[in-house]
Amino acid sequence: MKIHYLGHSEFILELPCHKKPVSLLCDSWLSDYAFGDFMARNPSVTLSQNMLHDLDGIFISHPHCDHLDPYTLMEIYRHSKPDLIIPESMIYLKETFENFLKPPGIIILKHNETQNWKGISLTAFAFQETYSSNESDVMPLLIEAEDTVLFHEVDCAVPESADAWNLIYSRFKNKKYKNRIYIATRNELEALFTAYDAESPARRKSLLKQYRQKRKFEMEWEYEKFDSEEAEYPELWVLPGMIKIFTGQGMIHSPILFPGYETVSAPFSLSDILTEEKNTALQFGRTLNFSVQKPGRYAEIENGKIAEENKTPYLESIYFTPVTMQFGFDGSREIPYGPIFNESRNIEKQKILIENVIRNRFFPFQITNPEEPLKDIIHRNKSKSYTIEVIYGTAESHTKFYYSVGLGNFNFEEKTSAESFDESYWANDLEDFIEGKQDMFSTTFHRFQSETSIRLWTMLGMPYLNSDLVYKKINFHFQRAEEGKTVQEWLKNASQKFENADL
């Protein structure tokens, strides 16, 4: 079997089948920029139109902008008609895909129910999580094809539970498999934004050292937990023909908008991860094979080893922005004051929209949040209340309102002043999130006060609770793509606060 690496988390699998190899594109962000978080793709790529006809299917793991890209999908379906494969956690977007893409078939994968597609077996999993996460709708994919079994982790952190790992192990242990492949995404976004946001070179170096130590402990635990007689489930990594492949890390700040930041865009690179993983495995006596993706090339895998690597025919062009990790970089990521779209709007309409979300979504979510209950936050606060500041208007002319709740209130109440507040937002940004024009990761263009939280914004990014917002967002960008508009134009509109940078 072959894996054609396209960069970030995207790749094309050529899977063995008794009739002919089956090609499957896994996730679809191939645009130069992400429409949600405004990050640049590295590398930028152009698909070969001649090869698009060879695509049999496209698997979309979840609706984040670096996985579900309406602009790329519209371009692909103009030239080809592959089947679309989605997990049941995205079934609310089925009609959207039918209207805009018109695929010959939409295969919906249900939890732990195997489906046969073109002679290969597909199974998706919805693991039970013990904490709130913006990735809780991710359903990783397990593929079985002749002598190959492959688990595509995507952005899912497989929980430390016997139920979860036994599901995977039960498929991997079959003796007929010569290739046992575990594809792990390692974006290391915590490290990336630590590198970007550190207030000084010394602080950056200190924080990233701590981060690497934490990741080393996590890697060691992957093996250490099996060396105890109390291990709750069998170990995947000791099976013959096992190869673990790392993908991800294809997102950086635009060098045009944030010049110089490419020098701190590789705080814990895939090659660093490969070295640490190999050393850790040897430390615990494990001999599985490791590899990292090489965008623009394919890897042919035989008997659990990479037999050949060569240039992939699926890409017409590829361009890398060189990234490094220079701890001495002392740049300042200045975000101009004001909302992303700095324009006058109907304040009364905004107030109705925003107050409804604060009172009817955020309040019940936070009051019942087992990790950080609102009552505990209120008890800790000197004010004995929780207050959200919302700034209505533009950077040049605006009015502030406050929404506050305390132990004597039944819900948030509006005020015209407050001595302190816990969160602060521009009304335009909140409205855009609610209407599908921003998302949880659009904060890369926001300027937050360092002492405040973003609990409301984080709540709006929680799956299931906010599927209607995701629906609006995906439909909005499909509509733009259908009209021939590009993600570059969208980013240029958003970056007008950066004095009309030439993207």
Give pLDDT, residue 498: 64
Angle between helical axes of 270-283 and 201-224 (0-180°, round to 10): 40
Cα–Cα distance for residue pair 187/461, rounded to 1 Å: 19
At 173-226, the pLDDT tens digits run 999 999 999 999 999 999 999 999 998 999 999 999 999 999 999 999 999 999
pLDDT band at 15 (very low <50, low <70, confident <90, very high): very high
Q: Among residues of the chain, what percentage have pLDDT more than 70? A: 98
* Section 367-385 average pLDDT: 94
Q: Among residues of the chain, what percentage have pLDDT more than 90? A: 86
pLDDT band at 229 (very low <50, low <70, confident <90, very high): confident
Residue 304, both tokens: 């659990």
Give pLDDT, residue 228: 81
Give pLDDT, residue 501: 61
Give pLDDT, residue 499: 60
CATH 3.10.450 is right for the domain spanning 347-498: no
For the chain, the average pLDDT equals 94
Strands (E), 296-422: 297-302, 305-311, 315-319, 385-393, 398-406, 413-415
Give pLDDT, residue 360: 97
Is 449's pLDDT higher than 80?
Answer: no
* Section 467-476 average pLDDT: 98
pLDDT band at 451 (very low <50, low <70, confident <90, very high): confident
At 269-301, the pLDDT tens digits run 999 999 999 999 999 999 999 999 999 999 999
Q: Which residue has the higher pLDDT, 473 or 232?
A: 473
At 71-118, the pLDDT tens digits run 999 999 999 999 999 999 999 999 999 999 999 999 999 999 999 999
What DSSP line would sit under 4-18, residue for residue?
EEEETTEEEEEE--S
Between the alpha carbon of residue 51 and those of residues 22, 33, 339, the distances in Å are 13, 23, 42
Is 124's pLDDT higher than 90?
Answer: yes
At 397-430, the pLDDT tens digits run 999 999 999 999 999 999 999 999 999 999 999 9
Give pLDDT, residue 133: 86
Residue 26 pairs in a beta bridge with: 11, 59
Please give the CATH architecture assigned to the domain spanning 2-319. 4-Layer Sandwich (3.60)
Residue 356: Cβ-neighbour burial (10 angstroms; 0-12, 13-18, 19+):
exposed
- N residues, the chain: 503
Sign of CA dihedral 273, 278, 284, 289: positive
* Section 337-352 average pLDDT: 95
Lowest-confidence region among 31-40, 224-233, 297-306: 224-233
Residue 251 pairs in a beta bridge with: 41
Cα–Cα distance for residue pair 321/40, rounded to 1 Å: 10
Asked, colleague to colleague, whether 2-319 and 347-498 share their fold, the answer is: no
Query: Alpha helix (H) ranges present in 177-313?
Result: 189-197, 201-224, 270-283
Residues contacting residue 145 through CB under 8 Å, at least 6 positions apart: 1, 15, 16, 17, 22, 119, 120, 121
Lowest-confidence region among 118-122, 128-132, 148-152: 128-132
Domain ranges within the chain, ordered by starting residue? 2-319, 347-498
Is 500's pLDDT higher than 70?
Answer: no
Is 374's pLDDT higher than 80?
Answer: yes
pTM higher than 0.85 for the full model?
yes
Give pLDDT, residue 19: 76
